[in-house]
Amino acid sequence: MSYKALYRVWRPQELQDVVGQEHITKTLQNALGQEKFSHAYLFSGPRGTGKTSAAKILAKAINCEQAPVREPCNECDACQGIADGSVVDIIEIDAASNNGVDEIRYIRDNVIAAPRDIRYKVYIIDEVHMLSTGAFNALLKTLEEPPKHAVFILATTEPHKIPLTIVSRCQRFDFKRITSQDLVARMQYILQEQGWEAEENALYLIARAAEGGMRDALSLLDQAVSFSESIITSDDVLAITGTVSQQFLTRVVRSLKNSDTPAAVEAADTLIRDGKDPLQFMEDMIYYFRDMLLYKTAPRLDEIMERVTVDESFEELSEKTDMGWLYEVINQLNQYHQEMKWASHPKIFLEMALINISHGADSTSSRESGEASEEVTLLKDKVAKLEQKLKSVEQSPPPSQPSAPAVETNKAAREQTTKNISAGLGGDGKIREIMTRATKQELQVVSNQWSGVMKEVKQESVPAHAWLSDAKPAVCDGETVVLAFQNEMHRNMVDTKFRSLVQGAIESSVGKSLDVLTILSGQWEKLKEEFKKKQQGKEEDSTDEEAAEDDPVVDEAVKLVGSELVEFEE
Amino acid sequence: MDWNEMQVQQPTVMNMLKRSIEKDRLAHAYIFEGMRGAGKKAVAMLMAQSLYCPYKQDAAPCGSCSECRRVEHGNHPDVMLLEPEGASIKKAQVEALQKELTYKGMETEVKIYIVNDADKMTASAANSLLKFLEEPESPTLALLLTENVHFMLDTIISRSQKISFAPPELERRIEMFEAQGSSKTAAALLAKLPDDVGGNYTGENSDWIVQGRALVIQLVEEVHHRPQQMLLTLQEKWLTHFKDREELDIGLDLLLFWYRDLLTVKYGQQNLAYPDLTERLEQQVILMSETEVAKRLQLILDAKRRLRANVNAQLLMEHLLLRLQEGS
């Protein structure tokens, strides 16, 4: 395999190539230039920020034949010998594999011997956090007062695991995460040198996914080059990193915001199907919300955005969102993110989290915006409805029968209602009338709250709950809800004895007062069929008569049963 | 499993690897990450074959030459497989591997090592791997397979190219189980279980799953309608059927799928785990709001987590059932 990974090919050879660590490179360069370098260094920082690279460069620079220099020349025998590993005086130790006291003793015994080819013996101890306590302590004395010709460089990702006695004997340098801009600049340089091309946006996506690690970024770039056809596009990068596009995130966030749970769960489904990582997705969401929060507090600070590029839909969405909700959601997401690592069914866990959040959104947004306004809108609604009713009453003479249609415009209903019915039991006619007005959304509202209604009823009276238990809301038009019962006796009991109780329960859980009608489910099925047929007949009629007009009957049918069940036949 | 078959199952992954092989840009370390049953090991084997096979077409190995067959049977001297010994991959194993890799390949230039369940490496094992994962002394190809990439060290992930496998498609799995002789209802359940579990209960063993399924249905019914009986059923039937920890875990999965189905019904989606019981699901779903279903899902997931932490099975189940019943 002649091919070498990009991050190995492009390992920096000079201090000035170590990107994003100016505070360190400058100090080291000055120390080298003035020959004031220390005998022990500790390099710490997250993965892929240049610790080992810096250690290797340092080893070259102090041994360079032209020393004192600020940068290694990379041309003299010493530099080249160190680079190809032929100089035995540069000892690179993998502390994770050699972590015992014995290995350290070996170092201690050997350090006394003078170097063979070059001026300084350099011990580079990588992953030094894995040394055992005994090994650390064995190293202490040597580290404090090594022979003149020895330099120790310790490198680690986990400095907190190093004993303080070691830390205090070294000059410590903390490497920072590399910023996106620096990563992109470096990648662009490499692409240019290699003669490849990439979309700029794709590079930013890589930089984000790399999270401040140059090696991560170059690994991803490597992968992207292998994967892409000619130019590296954003889609290539998304496929590789397992992240989702911002559009997708925006869509999910919007459905969460609108409490549109089915859409959110649907999105989770597509996500898993595409082989994206649910945990990564959750993290992306957290960053999305975090960026939104940031954008709301400081809209002009574009450059500290982590994941999001501000576009129209983001602006629009963040305008509609309030801070309280954001805090809440980020909190929740964080918690789920923690737990998710241990979940054995990540998909189901993700769905559960989305449902909880979208419902949380519901309750908190109403809490945040103040219940008063909520109530006001409800009341306004009511008033408007009452006004409408009043108008229709004024226009038409008062109906002689309680079941007669109240609304003039509703032709279908008037034709159908002929039977006289008692006020309590839902007569076919009255129910038909409701059916023409009913919408699927209204039914959804009641169905969603039905468990709440049942609970309420149970609190009031246990027998009522029992009688009601086989009932199910069948249709609702916003004023009246029809309950379908399996059993005649249940229906009668509820109808006669517990009517007001049920109504009260519905009012308190659904949030508006609804009339209750009851029907047997057998009868209901019949009515539904009949209604569907009639609608289809109507539709034919009306298309014959008034072909140009929009058909209200079809609209009703669609509203009632949903467009997926209505077939149009000309 | 041959290359073209995998190409259909995991198009993205295979394309990525194919292009890397064709462009001669194969990295020295890959992480294959994905659900159990996604075909990670099969792809790892194919990669090894593709590297050694003298008769390969494009990137696809022939599968019949001696090289391919030896890789397939685990007899190739230059392909090393590292698997957890007991619960984890120990440092000694990694050291042995490291030593092995300092030698030149027996027959080939490139040595391949496959680490199965790479997330199960102990901290010191993983750290020992770091240095020679980054700069191997001789040409090697490392394939780290894992179901849970988040348990791996950041430093390992950043040294390798991560390739995510899509989960196996449900419809295909259902068909597969039906072809193996499971009934339609059992197949729907088996397909949702992880591959190694589902695979154990096909054919003659599928009775066990069918019985378990009946138990779940009974138990759910009792939780919601006859709570006074549920603890008896638990004692008499459930605990005798789902005997040990693994079985109980499957039982909890079955229970989980029931509540997941409630959601599915609510949203009018497809792919139920209990496709023949739509009516009963519909009856139940009307009594529960979304949040309540979600709450119950969480309870079951919690129970699954506790199960792994060595708790008493009976107490766990009783606790779960009571919580499910009161719904909070």
ipTM of the complex: 0.80
Nearest CB partner across the interface for A213, out of B158, B256, B267:
B158
Q: Are residues A569 and A429 in the same domain?
A: yes
Q: For residue B30, what are the β-bridge partners?
A: B143, B161
Q: Average pLDDT, stretch B239-263?
A: 86
Query: Does pLDDT of B51 surpass 80?
Result: yes
- Give the per-residue pLDDT at B32: 92
Q: Are residues A196 and A168 in the same domain?
A: no
Contact B291 A359 (CB under 8 A): yes
B62 or B267, greater pLDDT: B62
Tell me how crowded residue A305 is: count the other CB atoms within 10 A of its CB: 18
A546 or B258, greater pLDDT: B258
- Give the per-residue pLDDT at A291: 85
Instruction: Identify the residue whose tokens are 């719904």.
Output: B327
Q: Are residues A444 and A463 in the same domain?
A: yes
Residues of B in contact with A2 (CB under 8 A): 24
Whether A381 is covered by a domain: the verdict is no
**CATH code: domain of residue A98:** 3.40.50.300
Whether A401 is covered by a domain: the verdict is no
Banded pLDDT at B101 (limits 50, 70, 90): confident
Could you give the 3-state DSSP secondary structure of residue A408? Answer: coil
Q: How far is CA A66 from CA A62, A73, A74, A78, A245, in A?
A: 9, 8, 10, 10, 52
Q: B328 and chain A: CB distance < 8 Å anywhere?
A: no
Domains (ranges, CATH) in chain B? Answer: 3-164 (3.40.50.300), 170-326 (1.20.272)
Query: Does pLDDT of A370 surpass 50?
Result: no
**CATH code: domain of residue A336:** 1.20.272.10
Proportion of chain A above pLDDT 90, given as a percent: 16
- Give the per-residue pLDDT at A234: 86
Interface of B with A in 134-153 (CB under 8 A): 134-135, 139, 141, 148-151
The answer to whether A324 touches A292, Cβ cutoff 8 Å, is no
Contact B164 A99 (CB under 8 A): no
Whether A396 is covered by a domain: the verdict is no
- Give the per-residue pLDDT at A410: 47
Q: Are residues A221 and A255 in the same domain?
A: no
A447 or B81, greater pLDDT: B81
Distance CA A89, CA A150 (A): 9
Query: Does pLDDT of A553 surpass 80?
Result: no
Nearest CB partner across the interface for B294, out of A94, A157, A352:
A352
Banded pLDDT at B145 (limits 50, 70, 90): very high
pLDDT digits (tens, 9 = 90+) for A182-197: 899 999 999 998 888 8
Whether A114 is covered by a domain: the verdict is yes
Could you give the 3-state DSSP secondary structure of residue A379? Answer: helix
Whether A255 is covered by a domain: the verdict is yes
Could you give the 3-state DSSP secondary structure of residue A92? Answer: strand
Q: Average pLDDT, stretch A421-426?
A: 45
Whether A412 is covered by a domain: the verdict is no
Contact B157 A94 (CB under 8 A): no
**CATH code: domain of residue A532:** 3.30.300.180
Q: Are residues A115 and A221 in the same domain?
A: no
CB-side neighbour CA atoms (13 Å) of B129 = 32
Domain boundary among A241, A267, A287: A241
Distance CA A543, CA A228 (A): 54
Q: Are residues A266 and A320 in the same domain?
A: yes
- Give the per-residue pLDDT at A67: 75
Nearest CB partner across the interface for B292, out of A216, A348, A451:
A451
A473 or A15, greater pLDDT: A15
The answer to whether B281 touches B265, Cβ cutoff 8 Å, is yes
Whether A379 is covered by a domain: the verdict is no
Nearest to A197 by CA among A231, A235, A161: A231
Distance CA A186, CA A215 (A): 11
Distance CA B276, CA B274 (A): 6
Give the Cα-Cα-Cα angle A87, A88, A90 (nearest 5 degrees): 85
pLDDT digits (tens, 9 = 90+) for A35-92: 888 999 999 999 989 999 999 999 999 988 887 888 888 888 888 888 888 888 999 8
Q: Average pLDDT, stretch A239-264?
A: 85
Q: For residue A232, what are the β-bridge partners?
A: A198
Contact B164 A277 (CB under 8 A): yes
Could you give the 3-state DSSP secondary structure of residue B231? Answer: helix
Query: Does pLDDT of A413 surpass 70?
Result: no
Query: Does pLDDT of A406 surpass 50?
Result: no
Nearest CB partner across the interface for B291, out of A46, A216, A355:
A355
Query: Does pLDDT of B328 surpass 50?
Result: yes
pLDDT digits (tens, 9 = 90+) for B65-76: 888 888 888 888
Q: Are residues A162 and A18 in the same domain?
A: yes
Q: What is the mean pLDDT of chain B?
A: 84
- Give the per-residue pLDDT at A189: 92
Nearest to A99 by CA among B112, B94, B287, B253: B94
Q: Are residues A532 and A547 in the same domain?
A: yes
The answer to whether B186 touches B275, Cβ cutoff 8 Å, is no
Q: Are residues A279 and A195 in the same domain?
A: no
Q: Average pLDDT, stretch B23-52?
A: 86
Whether A124 is covered by a domain: the verdict is yes
**CATH code: domain of residue A194:** 1.10.8.60
| Closest CA of chain A from B69, distance in Å | 22
Taking each helix axis from N to C end, the angle separating B313-326 and B290-308, rounded to the nearest 10 degrees, works out to 170
The answer to whether A404 touches A430, Cβ cutoff 8 Å, is no
Nearest to B82 by CA among B122, B47, B49: B122
Q: Are residues A50 and A154 in the same domain?
A: yes
Banded pLDDT at A411 (limits 50, 70, 90): very low
Q: Are residues A253 and A227 in the same domain?
A: no
Q: B166 and chain A: CB distance < 8 Å anywhere?
A: yes
Q: Which domain holds residue A320?
A: 246-361
Token output for B60: 């696809």
Q: What is the mean pLDDT of chain A?
A: 80
φ, ψ for residue A364 (rounded to 5)?
A: -70, -35
Nearest CB partner across the interface for B289, out of A48, A348, A452:
A452
Give the number of domains in chain A: 4
Instruction: Identify the residue whose tokens are 């022939």.
Output: B62
Query: Does pLDDT of A547 surpass 60?
Result: no
| Closest CA of chain A from B179, distance in Å | 23
Domain boundary among A192, A219, A241: A241
Domain boundary among A195, A213, A241: A241
Q: Are residues A23 and A140 in the same domain?
A: yes
Banded pLDDT at A423 (limits 50, 70, 90): very low
pLDDT digits (tens, 9 = 90+) for A307-366: 667 777 888 888 888 888 888 889 989 988 888 877 777 888 888 888 888 887 555 444
